[in-house]
Structure 1
Amino acid sequence: MMIDSPIFIFTVLLAVILAIPPIFERLSLPGLVGLLLAGVILGPNGFDFLNHDMETMELLSNIGKVYLMFVAGLEIDLTQFRRTRNRSMGFGFLTFIMPIITGIVIGRWFGFGWNASLLIGSLLASHTLLAYPIVSRLGVVRNEAITVTIGATIFTDTAALLVLAICVAINKGEFTPVSLIWILSSLAVYSVAVLWGFDWAGKEYFRRSKDDEGSQFLFVLLALFISSIGAQVIGVEQIVGAFLAGLAVNDVLGDSPVKEKVEFVGGVLFIPFFFVDMGLLIDIPAFARTLGSVGITVAIVLGLVGSKFIAAWLASLWYRYSRTEMLSMWSLSLPQVAATLAATLVGFQQRILTSDVFNSVIVLMLVTSILGPLITSRVASRLPVPEPEAEAEEPALWWDASGNDGPELEDTSPFTVVVPVYNPQTQRLLIELAALLARYERGRVIPIAITRGHTHMDDPRLEKSLERSRKLVKRALEIGQDYEVTIEPAVRIDNDIALGITRLSREHNANLIVLGWSENTSIRARLFGTIIDSVLWSAHCPVVITRLLEEPQRIKSILVPIRDLSSTTLRIVGFAQSLAAVSQAKVILLHISLPETPHGQIHRFEENLNQVIFCSEHPEPTITVDIKTVKSHNIAQTILREAEATDLVLMRSIRRRTSGGLAVSDITTHVVQHLKSSVILFGEPHH
């Protein structure tokens, strides 16, 4: 009775998804492989704790399945798709039609009917952008071939799910020419309704709900499940509606904290449930027979690899791409995870696909999820890094991020640094850093203490908090006076600490916000965000998050890892130069490239970097700027090793995810957690 209890099942699943993926990731294997194996061990072929037919397991798995497709739609970069729409559609068609023809041939060769063969082809036609973080790290995302491949995902996934809907209808005996027209027309109307309706409704709701992230999060979940139910109503699979919902709210969410929460909930809860359930369905004896006979498994794997290669080759001829660009397109389109696994499970449950095909697709997923990123890392490193955009060739002041007021206000307002003060132990170092920068730029410092508001302004607790805030800003004033800089302390009452900081910064047209580093990594902080997260999201100006181990003026060497020559990178370099000027420190620009990167490409990057690093509004001949290139696959460990000889590491604040939210590889967080020196994270406003 206890084993059948929903609470027991949920507890076992939580333990699995908490413990298993990190173990496999340490072995350089995808975490989802561990979840599949856990499903096998806990299922009928193992300890028999879990079973696919359990109501709780079925519910959680179905939620995970639609959530996986929702995230797949959410992660497609619509901006890049619009930039190369026609070519993306062209390559999308090729990388869809070639695998689907190959799959039909394989299915017929092994004795499957036309419907099953068509579904096998559709499984091979989609792709998952597992290697996107690699091309992003190499700085080649703006290469047209890469952009076209990323944009093609929207076509392949949508078309593959459409074929799935048709195959399921045929299998149910509901297929006639009239029913086909009905399915296509109803799906077309439904797609327009979802894509336009939820996009419009989302923008309106977000505008009206303003900063209520909880309500916005619930709206997104409601959109997901309404779309899934709607798809079922018109006779197609729920995952089709979930994918369309992801596309619909894509523009609405952008890179907001709400998107982060949506992906976090899916990544740590529902999507792993789906993969555990996939493991429960793996029949070990049948899996062994499938691998023993080899035939269909090898045919599916080689068919996928070959057809994707042909599609990339034809696209390269059509669009006149180089061999390296062709190989990059091929490797990016290889991995089969999100849409493939979700559609395979549907086909297996509808008895269209046999256990041999199901097991072969599991092998396909394992092979392509390893092979695709491996090839991408080798071939994409040989792509030429696109020249910096025009705005980056002549960088503005490092604090001149978009979103500030016009030139008239900038000309009359002094350089302003806002420093929220809360912790007396770290207050001195924050004020000293702000004062040094403000003095260098002939500006001012605004120490601010935020007191959380109460319903009644005569509440004794409010008065006590205000008294504490006054003491904090008074102490900040005393510290700042030693640096001969203007200090304008402020105390503010606000219901939201983060918004109180950013609102005051906007009112005073601040050029920089200086925050102390928070070690809060609790589940609540990851789910609902920290004050730092909220400030980074809502601020109009750059934000630096600091963890200083010594006085700023004692810093004599600054390490700045750089990835590309984007405007953001150049602003970080400008900030490092200003920071070095106030403490007479040396700046080391660390460029980490893959071992396969040609020497000529590295040399061109260093030359371009040399041309821009001295573009400063305050040229200081005493500042030494060195460029150091290191070849390595492990970015985090390389930064940590190079940081051992420096006093401060200056990094960009950025998060990295893999598709599906199953594993988070946050290089910045890893480095900060293991650094033994001071660190500053530089974050730009979202626009």
Structure 2
Amino acid sequence: MDKLLHHISEAFSTPITNPVLVFTVILTIILISPIILRPIKVPGIIGLILFGVLLGPHGLNWLSKIDKVTLEGSGVDAIDLFSTIGLLYIMFIAGLELDMNEFKKTKNKSLLFGFFTFIIPIMIGFPVCYYLLNYDFLPSILIASMFATHTLVTYPIVNSYGISKHEAVAITIGGTILTDTAVLIILAVVTGASQGALNQEFWVTLGVSFTIFLFIMFGVIPRIAKWFFQRIEAEKTAHYIFVLAVVFFAAFLSELAGLEPIIGAFVAGLALNKLIPHSSALMNRIEFIGNAIFIPFFLISVGMIVDVSVLTKGPMALIIAGTLTLVAVTGKFLAATATQLVFKYTKNQRNLIFGLSNAHAAATLAIIMVGYEKEIIDENVLNGTIVLILVTCIIASIVTENASKKIVMEGHQHDTHKEHVEEHEEQILIPIANLANMEPILDFATLIKSKKSHHPLHILSVVPDNEEAERNTLNARKNLDSMVRYASGSETEVEILTTLDHNIGSGIGRTSKELFADCIILGWPSATSFIEKIVGEKAESILNRTNTNLFMCRLDKPFLSHKSITVFVPPLAESETGFVYWMEKILRLGQELSLPVMYVCGTRTQRAIETLLDQLKSSVPAGFSNYEDWDNIYGLATFSNTDSLLVFVSARYGEVSYRDSLDGLARRVGRYYQNQNLILIFPSRVENQHIDDYENVQMAPIFRKISREIGNMFNKEK
């Protein structure tokens, strides 16, 4: 018994040395921190740092970076290893999540704001640190550059208010790229100078190595990544391991080039930005593992370094903390005010820019940690920076919340056009025919689904209503379970539906009406016999029995093989009820895949599309090619290329934009473009405005089909 008690007391002696217990304590902190601090509105990033302070060597001394807590045989401290990974992870995700299309759209204004938010805090910070706080030249430069950074901690707030596409938000995002990159380069120069290596050779070496580094990261890595994602498409685990390997390779390469590893991680995010859609399963894995393990480890380890007692050892520590916080807030406010004056923004827009750019977190921590480890700055600055982060995050949250509310009340939210579908109520139905083709269709649905909708994706199987219906229903549900597992990889919620019906089209149509579905996503129609083509193939049966937007997809190649999206829009498509809906979905797809969209259409349709693009304030690059001879569908081939995702907009029979040349479009384009991904869109229509009540036999369509099929027998289509 004594031996047991001795063993227990030894295990719980402080600091804790048992690696299993250390990990248990840290995981418990990660678990309970948001639960405890959420009610008092303390940001999660601050909560983890505070727990690190409380349980670290300068607090209760439960956790300590000591030699006994090691990875066996490596001699590397486990907490230190995980925190290093977390620091790199923060910078990688920052580069990965930047909307490059939004940056390109507002690049001139972003450049000016980036200049203001970089230079103004430095111009204030350097004299204060050098003359007022009496720091040497290099520490003053480093601390001043820290003031110039900002992290978009409050971005989720503007997103929740529906103003994420507001111009003030866009230029703030663009400015983040510029100011953080510039500060990271300053960090490389300062660390080089601190080691006494700031001579001509240093600059030449830095210039050459930085150029080679950028060439490898932007010229070589994306090509390798694209090849890997295409060739190893089925191995989802391998994708994540590959991305992780790229991050650490980039960090190591950056170190070889004389830069800090965090620059490499940030550049790795930019390099892979276009290859990893923001709504993809891979992106979800990256964010999930980072936010669950690595980043919290880093934040806790930061808290472990902080010695709160320093703040009580004299007025100097408090003076430094207060001064740093005041300078940081003032610098960002003046930068936002300068931007307001130049672009004639309102007070609320100014406050929105200030709120978004005032929060100092990831990059600030990264810079100060490097400076502290290199002994460029002292404990006072490190502790003062923790206070700065806490105060600026709280101020940023309050200011952004108030500014967002007022801008919405002014009517500046991006949903200024009349919505056909309320985004938060969107319902998507995916009827299943072939399980082998379902994964890319589910990926497509995840990419275009409204992020505001709380409804799951509905996956439907229509079971024939016969004597084996019960057994077939059980088999259908069992088969669809694999789709649930696949969807869980991207945290996409799905609902499995099975229905009994003698007719597949009837079953889909009935379920669509019961769900009030806004969109139906189907696989590409398979080849059918002559008789089926005449009296009602499945695809046309579904079209006739539904009124909602319908997407037919053939997605045999991975999305990252595309360099653009080409949309063929027939005359008067802008007059269809579902015009706004499918336009939004194509733009969302372009944004997720970071691809430009080329519209092939007539002059009148082009004007309507341009008007809608202005209303939507989309950041996706758009171009136009004129085509007027829509009775000759094969003439569209001159506008397509093998690197494009081809989208054909059609119409149901009897609708305003329908024409005979669109009849049987799926069969014809499917045969002509055999090696390309295709999407065929049928916009929604107003219910009961068509003569489709006799779905199985429609006289006019039948005669039209008979004449066309007989004609095809004598005139083979090319």
TM-score bracket relative to the smaller structure: 0.5 to 0.7
Cα displacement string for residues 206-249 of structure 1 (whole angstroms, at most 9, x for unaligned residues): 22222432111111101100001111112221111111111111
Q: Are 1:308 and 1:330, in contact at CA under 8 Å, matched by a contact in 2?
A: yes
1:172 equivalent in alignment to 2:178? no
- What is the 5 A alignment of 1:568-607? none
Cα displacement string for residues 536-570 of structure 1 (whole angstroms, at most 9, x for unaligned residues): x99xxxxxxxxxxxxxxxxxxxxxxxxxx995999
Q: Are 2:113 and 2:175, in contact at CA under 8 Å, matched by a contact in 1?
A: yes
Change (3 A) 1:10 1:618: same
What letter is aligned with 2:166?
A: N
Q: In the alignment, which residue of structure 2 is the partner of 1:617?
A: 686
Q: Are 2:172 and 2:353, in contact at CA under 8 Å, matched by a contact in 1?
A: yes
Q: Are 1:52 and 1:281, in contact at CA under 8 Å, matched by a contact in 2?
A: no
Q: In the alignment, which residue of structure 2 is the partner of 1:308?
A: 332
The secondary structure found in structure 2 opposite 1:447 is: strand
Q: Are 1:419 and 1:448, in contact at CA under 8 Å, matched by a contact in 2?
A: no
Q: In the alignment, which residue of structure 1 is the partner of 2:105?
A: 83
Q: In the alignment, which residue of structure 2 is the partner of 1:486?
A: 506
Q: CA offset at residue 258 of structure 1?
A: 0.3
What letter is aligned with 2:25?
A: V
1:24 equivalent in alignment to 2:37? yes
Q: 1:51 and 1:57 mapped to 2: Cα distance?
A: 9
Q: In the alignment, which residue of structure 2 is the partner of 1:218?
A: 241
Q: 2:351 and 2:498 mapped to 1: Cα distance?
A: 60
Q: 2:111 and 2:543 mapped to 1: Cα distance?
A: 42
Q: In the alignment, which residue of structure 2 is the partner of 1:59?
A: 81
Root-mean-square deviation over aligned CA pairs: 4.0
Q: 1:478 and 1:274 mapped to 2: Cα distance?
A: 50
Q: In the alignment, which residue of structure 2 is the partner of 1:327?
A: 351
Aligned length: 463
Q: In the alignment, which residue of structure 2 is the partner of 1:206?
A: 229
- What is the 5 A alignment of 1:70-219? 70-108=92-130, 109-219=132-242
| Unmatched segments (≥5 aa) in structure 1 | 405-414, 422-444, 450-464, 490-500, 513-536, 539-564, 572-614, 621-687
Change (3 A) 1:468 1:328: closer
- What is the 5 A alignment of 1:237-256? 237-255=260-278, 256=280
Range moving further from structure 2, 336-345 or 186-195: 186-195
| Unmatched segments (≥5 aa) in structure 2 | 1-9, 68-76, 436-459, 465-470, 480-496, 510-519, 527-537, 545-557, 560-578, 586-683, 690-718
Q: 2:46 and 2:580 mapped to 1: Cα distance?
A: 36
Q: CA offset at residue 289 of structure 1?
A: 3.7
Q: In the alignment, which residue of structure 1 is the partner of 2:403?
A: 379
Change (3 A) 1:235 1:5: farther
Q: In the alignment, which residue of structure 2 is the partner of 1:274?
A: 298
Q: CA offset at residue 60 of structure 1?
A: 1.2
Q: 1:378 and 1:211 mapped to 2: Cα distance?
A: 46
Q: In the alignment, which residue of structure 2 is the partner of 1:15?
A: 28
Q: CA offset at residue 123 of structure 1?
A: 0.8
Q: 1:250 and 1:80 mapped to 2: Cα distance?
A: 13
The secondary structure found in structure 1 opposite 2:360 is: coil
Cα displacement string for residues 589-620 of structure 1 (whole angstroms, at most 9, x for unaligned residues): xxxxxxxxxxxxxxxxxxxxxxxxxx961289
Q: State the TM-score, normalizing by the size of structure 2.
A: 0.58
Q: CA offset at residue 447 of structure 1?
A: 1.8
Change (3 A) 1:189 1:478: closer
Q: In the alignment, which residue of structure 1 is the partner of 2:462?
A: 447
Q: CA offset at residue 90 of structure 1?
A: 1.5
Change (3 A) 1:350 1:332: same
Cα displacement string for residues 281-334 of structure 1 (whole angstroms, at most 9, x for unaligned residues): 111211334777532222211111111122122222222322222221112110
The secondary structure found in structure 1 opposite 2:462 is: strand
Range moving further from structure 2, 187-196 or 218-227: 187-196
Change (3 A) 1:287 1:202: farther
What letter is aligned with 2:382?
A: F
Q: 1:293 and 1:249 mapped to 2: Cα distance?
A: 42
Q: Are 1:92 and 1:153, in contact at CA under 8 Å, matched by a contact in 2?
A: yes
Q: 1:66 and 1:471 mapped to 2: Cα distance?
A: 43
Q: In the alignment, which residue of structure 1 is the partner of 2:447?
A: none
Change (3 A) 1:37 1:568: farther
Q: 2:241 and 2:117 mapped to 1: Cα distance?
A: 36
Q: CA offset at residue 387 of structure 1?
A: 7.5
1:36 equivalent in alignment to 2:86? no
Q: In the alignment, which residue of structure 1 is the partner of 2:565?
A: none
Q: In the alignment, which residue of structure 1 is the partner of 2:601?
A: none
Change (3 A) 1:185 1:302: farther
- What is the 5 A alignment of 1:434-583? 446-447=461-462, 468-469=474-475, 479-480=500-501, 486-487=506-507, 504=523, 567=581
The secondary structure found in structure 1 opposite 2:61 is: coil
The secondary structure found in structure 1 opposite 2:196 is: coil
